[in-house]
Structure 1
Amino acid sequence: MWDEMMTSRTMKRHRDELFAGALRPVDQTTHDLMRSVCAHLTETDGRPVRLLLESFPPETVSGLWIDLGDHEVVAVEKNTLPLHQMVILGHELWHRKEASLGRRDANGTEGTDGTGGSDRAVAAAARVLGDRWNLGDAVSYVSARTDYDLEEERRAERFGRLLAAKFLPFLVGARSSTPPDAMVGRIRAALGR
């Protein structure tokens, strides 16, 4: 119970920090907002956090965070709704946050690598990436080599929804002026809006 309460507080604090740090001019696109969140993290943490919008291979994940040592990569599925993209970004950024908090990963070792697996898996993914970005290879390699931690994934998904809910007015417009289509309506309902 205590751990859950502390996690909730940490999530809300982190969400509010990301929201406050992101620039939100009225005409900013979802991709601009997501880049702004990553730019804020780069500024505050002193290490580049690069956002990539990519088409993920079918039947795999929709986001990926990898710490490559001198920089980090957050890849988000580009072929989905803007609101869903923000949920994915938040999900991956929560994996990043848990790594910075020193949570144990599914292998029982200290910290995580943003994929729910061992540091060896990330090093291997970095080798696969090399000088080029091949998302399909990285996703396949990391997915095949990492353990899945259901509780970590639930926390990451919860944070993704919290972050998207905070940015909601900037993602789909004001509630009163933007009639949601069927899919946006379902996502809003899932966010409790």
Structure 2
Amino acid sequence: MTQTAAERGRQVRARLRAAAVELIVERGWAAVSTRLVADRAGVAPGLVHYHYASVRALLIEAATGTMTDLAGELDALLTGAVSPEAGVRALLAALDGYSGTDPTSLLFVEAYLAAARDAELRQVLTGILDGLRGRIADWLAGHGVADPPGSAAVLAAALDGLMLHRPLSSDLASDAVAGPLIRLVATDTTDTTDTTDTTA
């Protein structure tokens, strides 16, 4: 079946975004150029500026799109958790899939650094983080956790910090930090006792 121009355009944009993410991770945000993206995506350089106002606009869309997807995955984990403790454990288990030097972690690092000098990127990232913190706060409130906004802000920052610190500290697996974070979201009915089986 013959593709429409709109379908071809969507495919090219997807290839450009994927190429941009790869290059941000490999070379760093500031080193990505129109030619590099075009070569990686297998398209003519002119198509980059046909679909995006600038390479910067492409980088912002590519990076924040990936970050929005990850925030949605974390949100889904909370939705399926039956208690604050279960929610924290689920979030930490998901974080264990990231070493700190993997492509997703490096993309976050590069985007955060770039946002310090780019007001537009900073605004988009702020919106993503505010949205995630808001959803965490609503979930915590539904489970009777005290100060849901403050607890959500600390929990989100702790998850970010763990991802950033893992390349420097090999002992930051979920089991090592679960206790303090569970206590952060404890309610009167939460059992914060460490039940890890150490007899194995």
The two structures share one fold, judged by TM-score above 0.5:
no
Higher strand share: 1
Instruction: Provide the TM-score with structure 1 as the length reference.
Output: 0.25
Bigger share in helix? 2
Bigger CA radius of gyration? 2
